[in-house]
Each structure stands twice: as C-alpha cells, then as structure tokens.
Structure 1
Amino acid sequence: MPEKLQVLGSRKGLTPGLQHYTTVTVADNSGAKEAVIIGIYGYKGVLRRIPFANIADLVMVSVRKGTPEVRKQKFKAVIVRQRMPFRRPDGTWIAFEDNAVVIVNPDGTPKGTEIRGPIAKEAAERWPKVASIATMVI
C-alpha cells in the first residue's frame, strides 16, 4: 500500500489564486486537456466560504476534456501555474498566463511523462517528482 501524501493545505499569507470549480488546463501528457477543481486537500475553512488553493497545493480535479479513458474521472493534481499574481519572499511578483495542473498518482508521482510549459519554483520545491519531468522551472 502506498504511503500517504503529506498535505499541508493552503499556506497562510499567500494570494488565493484558484477556488472551487475553477477550470484549469492540464499541463502534462496524461490524456486530459481540461479539468475542473472539485476539492482542495488540507483546506480548513469557514462555513459558506469558498475554498481556495495556491501554487503547489494538492487538489482533486474532474477531467472535462481529453481522451475517452480519462474523461469523466476524478484525479489528484498539483497546481503548477496560476494567473493571479503572487509574491515571493524575495519581493518579486509572479503571474502566469494560465491556470494549470499536473495529474499525479496516489503516491505523488506524475501520471504523464512530460510537462508542457513552465512550472513555478514553489511547485518544484514541494513536489520533486513533478520537477524532474518539467522542461522549465520559473
């Protein structure tokens, strides 16, 4: 049985970039093209507050567009890009041109073999197996 993933949830002080039911593009070659965030792991919120996630958070997605094998299925995914600008500890502000996730297996390894486009440095530090197949880390 695979060991449990360490889920830290949304880190305090970061800009809420993606919320519940946000449509995101899938950045890997797992067969999925577009997905919707349906759950955020580790989020402890307030009643009637919409849950949000940031870069490098683990989320549950439902695939809406892609190959017939992966459509209408739920997967765990890691957020690697977000449109909302966020601030790094060194003072720089980063914003990507789309919201993107990478689908991962229950043990944290990516389902695909390559990632299209750049991924954030925060996601690469928190998920080293995702960073190993990334072409560009910003």
Structure 2
Amino acid sequence: MNGLGSIVKEEKACKGVGRGGSSGSKFRISLGLPVGAVINCADNTGAKNLYVIAVAGIRGRLNRLPAAAIGDMLVATVKKGKPELRKKVMPAVVIRQRKAIRRKDGTVIYFEDNAGVIVNNKGEMKGSAITGPVAKECADLWPRIASNAGSVA
C-alpha cells in the first residue's frame, strides 16, 4: 500500500491565527457572517453597528467570500454611531450570530441577532459593558470579553 489509503480525516482545533489575547482552542463553527455584513455593536463605546471588512486568519479561496463565526476576530468600521468612531478601521470580535451552530455535546444554538464588540489588537475591549448574551464559545476564547459579559449562553 502506498500510504494514501491510511489517511484519516479528523476535526482538529484551529490554532487561532491572528487572535491576540485569546486563550484556548477554537473548533469549527458554522460561518455566518461574510465580508460585507453589518452587525450590531453590543458594547457601550457609542457605536451602533459594525461593517465587516475582513476576517483575521482567513487565507481564502477563489470566488469565496471570507466569513466569520462566533469568537472570530474581524476588521470592521462603524457605520452608525459617534462621529469619532466612524470612518476608522478597527478590530472587533463576534459574540453572537443568527446562523445555528452545533456544540460538541450535540446541542444546537442560535441567537436573535448578529453582534460584535470593538477590541484592540491585544483582545482587550474598548467598552466596559456588553448588552445581551455572549456565546460560550466566544467567552472561552476571549477572557476579557467574558469578564464584561452580562450573561454567557
């Protein structure tokens, strides 16, 4: 045998490329937020929504839009909100998505909106409070976000 028949596919944890300030490993989650999506800003920075420009750690494939899932860091701009936040490119982390995700224990969960919070490059939040629940997958990856979360779902 030439060794090709013995290859076994396994679901492996991603190493977290470009995820400064995160801890733990991220398993594959359904990607629900492609580039161009507008998501709610769930912190108290003064931003109302975030426009997704790029997703950190995505290398890409021809004609496929890069997409983010819960716990991913993305590059975003503020479309509505305080004038000092608008027209600037800043990192953000996805904390909720409407696309259903399947957890390791078999449960399926989805949220009523797509939401993210503005962070710095180290993963520290710009705001000090989060409105609404934060997904457990995101809270495990980002301890600074988990500490500001009102509830973890």
Aligned-pair identity in percent equals 45
Structure label with greater radius of gyration: 2
Query: CA–CA distance in 1 between the matches of 2:88 and 2:46?
Result: 12
Q: Of Structure 1 and Structure 2, which has the larger fraction of its residues in strand?
A: 1
Matches within 5 A, 1:69-80: 69-80=84-95
Tell whether 2:139 aligns with 1:136. Answer: no
Which residue of structure 2 aligns with residue 56 of structure 1? Answer: 71
Q: Residue 33 of structure 1: SS of its match in structure 2?
A: strand
Aligned structure 1 segments of 4 or more residues deviating by more than 3 angstroms: none
Tell whether 2:9 aligns with 1:28. Answer: no
TM-score (norm 1): 0.91
Aligned residues: 132
Query: CA–CA distance in 1 between the matches of 2:20 and 2:149?
Result: 20
Q: 1:14 aligns with which of 24, 29, 33?
A: 29
- Assess if the C-alpha contact under 8 Å between 2:21 and 2:142 holds in 1: no
Query: CA–CA distance in 1 between the matches of 2:61 and 2:143?
Result: 31
Query: CA–CA distance in 1 between the matches of 2:150 and 2:29?
Result: 25
Q: Which amino acid counterpart does residue 61 of structure 1 have in structure 2?
A: A
Query: CA–CA distance in 2 between the matches of 1:68 and 1:53?
Result: 26
Query: CA–CA distance in 2 between the matches of 1:108 and 1:23?
Result: 21
The alpha-carbon deviation at position 73 of structure 1 amounts to 1.3
Q: 1:118 aligns with which of 133, 139, 142?
A: 133
Q: Which amino acid counterpart does residue 112 of structure 1 have in structure 2?
A: G
C-alpha RMSD over aligned residues: 1.5
Q: Which residues of structure 2 form unaligned runs of 5+?
A: 1-18
The alpha-carbon deviation at position 14 of structure 1 amounts to 2.2
After superposition, give the CA deviation of every residue in 1:36-83 in whole Å (9 maximum; x if it has no partner): 100100012211211111100000011000011101211100000000
Q: Which amino acid counterpart does residue 25 of structure 1 have in structure 2?
A: N
Q: Which amino acid counterpart does residue 57 of structure 1 have in structure 2?
A: D
After superposition, give the CA deviation of every residue in 1:86-121 in whole Å (9 maximum; x if it has no partner): 100000000000000010012210000000000000
Residue 13 and residue 126 in structure 1: after superposition, are their counterparts in 2 closer, same or farther (change >3 A)? closer
Tell whether 2:109 aligns with 1:94. Answer: yes
TM-score (norm 2): 0.82
Q: Which residues of structure 1 form unaligned runs of 5+?
A: none
Query: CA–CA distance in 1 between the matches of 2:141 and 2:27?
Result: 16
